[in-house]
Homo-oligomer: A and B are copies of this chain.
Amino acid sequence: MSLLVVGSLGIDTIETPFGRVENVLGGSATYIVTAASYFVAPIRLVGIVGGDFPKEYIDFLESREVDLEGLQIVKDGKTFRWGGRYQYDLNSRDTLFTELNVFEHFDPVIPESFRKTTHVCLGNIDPDLQRRVLEQIEKPRLVVGDTMNFWIKRKRKELLETLKLVDILIINDAEARELTNEPNLIRAAKAIIGKGPRMIIIKKGEHGALLVTERTVFSAPAYPLEMINDPTGAGDAFAGGFIGWLAKTDDLSEANCKRAVIYGSALASFCVEQFSLIRLKDLTSIEIHDRFREFRELSKFDEQDMP
């Protein structure tokens, strides 16, 4: 199996009620590949950074066995930068600044050696670019896509075109409602299934995640963390754990997709424990496995005969 990830790489400044970090590694692709790297190697990355992108971050990605052939480094350009501040309950955040820099003119070119890739994860970028990526891949076995409210508002038509090519859409609850104008989450998910994807994963933050197909619903709990330092990247860590498990196992059965949701949830739960990638980048297989099992305990109950 092979996994290709396209998305942003950036330098973040993050404030939460529990601290502040400056110029740390960020971007959707970064979180996705780091989470997925616990399951597959090498991972093919397609993205763009400027000449100011610190060498230590390149070294880190290489240490996670990320194949950087598709990483464009614009020597005289600046890397995408984002600053955000989370409110006291961590459920809402204000963007302090967004400097697109080299990301503004990103044209994802898939290297020849990446064109036969079985598993593709489209991080949250312009839906036109997501589609351009897919045009360059020879019949991928699985396409997982992410998006956000920004594209739903500004590029709805283009997003709907991209959705036709996506097998599994990962989206949060507010976005699912916005995309479909449907307040009921299950109906919203089913409405999206009509537009292309055969499976929808709805991320609900502290309330866990739903996997919805035309006929079934699976409800994954959230890990009951008492301390969340920084929610940044949780959704991307989820996507990375999810597609990482699917690429590793090459099994798209519903039972295995449920496991993938739990691995995604596990990686997301580690991610938010510390700022940036601090926790996500230093996990062991045993820690991930143990957390998977904790998820089982969390939602397990047994039956007793009804009278």
Contact = CB atoms under 8 A, between A and B. Distances in A.
Contacts of A302: 255, 259
Interface stretch (A145-153, A163-171, A178-186): A178-186
Interface residues of A, number: 51
B187 A218 contact: no
A218 B304 CA distance: 17
A282 to B, nearest CB: 17
Interface in A235-264: 248-249, 255-256, 258-259, 261-262
Q: Number of copies of this chain in the oligomer?
A: 2
Interface of A: prevailing SS = mixed
21 contacts: A89-B177, A89-B183, A184-B225, A184-B227, A184-B228, A186-B224, A187-B226, A204-B207, A207-B207, A218-B298, A219-B222, A221-B299, A248-B307, A249-B304, A259-B301, A259-B302, A259-B304, A285-B306, A289-B306, A292-B303, A293-B303
What 9 A-B pairs have minimum CB-CB distances, sorted nearest first? A219-B221, A89-B183, A207-B207, A258-B301, A217-B224, A299-B299, A289-B306, A186-B224, A187-B226
